[in-house]
Amino acid sequence: MMIGTTDLTGIDKEIDSVLRSFIAVNSETGTAGEKNCEAFLTEYLASIPYFQKNKEHFGSYAVSEDPLQRAVCWGLVRGRGASTVVLIHHYDVVGIEDFKNLKEFAFQPDSLEKALKNISEELHPEAREDLLSGDYLFGRGSADMKAGGAIQLALLKRYSECKELEGNVLLLSLPDEENLSAGMRAAVDLLDELKEQHGLHYIYGFNSEPHQRKADGRGLLSEGSVGKILAFVYVRGFLSHVGKVFEGLNPVPLLSEIVADTELSPLFSDWVNGEAAPPPTWLNLQDRKETYDVSMPLGAGGCISILTLDSDPMHALKLLHTSAENSFEKVIDRMNRSYKEFCRRTGRNAETLPWKPLVMTYAELLDEAAMNCGEDFQKIYADERKAIEKRIKEGELDFIEGTYLMTELLLHSISDLSPRVILGFVPPYYPNVSNFLLKDLTSEQRLLADRVSRFSLEKYGVEYEKESYYTGISDLSYLSLKDSRGIQSELEKDTPLYGGAYSIPLEKIEALSMPCVNIGPWGKDFHKLTERVFKPDLYVQTPALLDYAIRLILQQEKS
């Protein structure tokens, strides 16, 4: 079957002009700057004749209860039938700390290029070579991911000019991807509403995050995205004076033991289809002492980031539970040996120390506190939680600190003082998604990435490899889901701050579940000063590949 293609003549100029204006809007993630992108995007969409005629086909959709009042910008080009592809990109960018004294040029590719040439000796040789080649566009957001965004916007405009479009194209431009993905989580509600209003049937999702090219020049298409779990471990010890160490249990060595046992542990790294999740790493570690004195700390907390390919939060919690128990035993054993030696030297009788391993989930601790405190507890707990959520919204606390405070509230509410380890989760949570996990895909959906790769090889001589997961973490995580109920109940139980200041419309995601692929331009040094995107991809190849894929999937739905 012949695939109808779009006339892409001159799209390079359109992409270039959109991208430069897009980069010029400083939309650092988590700042008021993100709001400026909304104005830019709305103006762009409003300038397209199709949307002037069809005003109800584009708009901005507010992220509810967002302190920065950000919104998802969207545009829907309607063709024949219900089949709809969804294009997503994020409009926020990471901060510019890395630019040091070149900050003023971060959002102006041409001036930045000049400024970088002045310091080219200081750059990494590969970056210097790319800079001098003229083949790359530099600037914050150039690769990650306003390039992908500009390509999608320019393509949407082309589709809006098509007389006979098979199917529909919906574009979503999202805030907050680099932070908590508030944009994509809100976009799930928008997808649901548009589906009802316009009778849409979503058949495929496309993201255009940049890809990193392999050494042999091959590109990369990702048919899914890794999941990300942030788990917390809170250790409550037993306080004592530093002169009476055997009367207490210091939570710091116990937490350290758990950290050493789990950091980069292959046990936590899912392994699927020859791909492995990068092993976990600790993002936060602290004792909970507020000031210095000669007592050991009473509590210590840490957060571990776990990337997943096909496992869920329940699985991560089980692994952490095992590690915490083993670590607890190890630490008690070590304490007993030290105590024995200390007693031998001082001529005392050594008794076994009283400590026993105790590991529990947040939900179990909550039950214990409720039993202990009786009737008033639920109200106190709810009020305290609201107060913490309010402080988070106002930017006074982050989710990690809020989670420790919630845990400490419970620890103050129980009467059993035994040292213990408490396990649970901290927002955000990204489900793992991959097309091969989805049942009932059509052969067209299943083979899309292969066909795009073949098209690229024939047309441009560039081969694309497939991977089942984008490991950079992306908003694709919210385009499909299995077992929403199981995950929902686990998150509600063991995430102290799930439901109020942070939630995910898991059931809706499961209902909307669509296969997805990331087709984006080649880029390098994301989040760094020398972030850059490869011009031939940006202007020519990626738009052609993306257009080919969109046309393929929409037309095959018809046949």
Residues at the interface with Zn ion (CB under 5 A): 144-145, 209
Judged by beta carbon, residue 227 or residue 424, the one nearer Zn ion is 227
For residue 149, the minimal CB distance to Zn ion (Å) is 10
Other CB atoms within 10 Å distance of the CB of residue 121: 6
State the Cα–Cα distance between residues 6 and 547, nearest whole angstrom: 7
For residue 143, the minimal CB distance to Zn ion (Å) is 8
Q: Which residue shows structure tokens 């995601």?
A: 509
For residue 19, the minimal CB distance to Zn ion (Å) is 15
Give the amino acid at 85. V
CA–centroid distance for 448 within its chain: 25
Give the amino acid at 410. L
Q: Tell me which H or E stretch contains 35.
A: helix 34-46
Contacts of 536 (CB under 8 A, 6+ apart): 135
Q: Which residues pair with 206 in a beta bridge?
A: 87, 517
Judged by beta carbon, residue 15 or residue 258, the one nearer Zn ion is 15
Q: Which residue shows structure tokens 């097309």?
A: 435
For residue 144, the minimal CB distance to Zn ion (Å) is 4
Cis peptide before 145 (omega within 30 of 0): yes
Judged by beta carbon, residue 178 or residue 490, the one nearer Zn ion is 178
For residue 528, the minimal CB distance to Zn ion (Å) is 13
Contact 74, 189 (CB under 8 A): no
For residue 520, the minimal CB distance to Zn ion (Å) is 9
Q: Which residues pair with 304 in a beta bridge?
A: 231, 282
For residue 477, the minimal CB distance to Zn ion (Å) is 12
Judged by beta carbon, residue 533 or residue 554, the one nearer Zn ion is 533
Beta-strand relationship, 58-62 and 464-467: unpaired
In a 13 Å sphere around the CA of 303, the CA atoms on its Cβ side amount to: 18
Q: Tell me which H or E stretch contains 322.
A: helix 313-346
Judged by beta carbon, residue 28 or residue 257, the one nearer Zn ion is 28
Judged by beta carbon, residue 331 or residue 546, the one nearer Zn ion is 546
For residue 17, the minimal CB distance to Zn ion (Å) is 22
Judged by beta carbon, residue 48 or residue 174, the one nearer Zn ion is 174
For residue 305, the minimal CB distance to Zn ion (Å) is 17
Counts for the chain of helices (H) and strands (E), in that order: 17, 20
For residue 145, the minimal CB distance to Zn ion (Å) is 4
Beta-strand relationship, 58-62 and 71-77: antiparallel
State the Cα–Cα distance between residues 389 and 500, nearest whole angstrom: 7
Judged by beta carbon, residue 407 or residue 474, the one nearer Zn ion is 474
State the Cα–Cα distance between residues 77 and 190, nearest whole angstrom: 16
Contact 439, 513 (CB under 8 A): no
Judged by beta carbon, residue 22 or residue 58, the one nearer Zn ion is 22
Judged by beta carbon, residue 211 or residue 508, the one nearer Zn ion is 211
Judged by beta carbon, residue 91 or residue 498, the one nearer Zn ion is 91
Coil, strand, or helix at residue 88? Answer: strand
Q: Where are the beta strands (DSSP E) in 101-212?
A: 136-138, 166-174, 201-207
Least Cα distance to 283 among 302, 256, 264 occurs for 302
Judged by beta carbon, residue 21 or residue 179, the one nearer Zn ion is 179
For residue 177, the minimal CB distance to Zn ion (Å) is 6
Contact 107, 140 (CB under 8 A): yes
Length of the chain: 559
DSSP 8-state symbol, 238: B
For residue 523, the minimal CB distance to Zn ion (Å) is 9
Instruction: Using CB positions, name the residue nearest to Zn ion.
Output: 144
Contacts of 360 (CB under 8 A, 6+ apart): 368, 420, 421, 422, 423
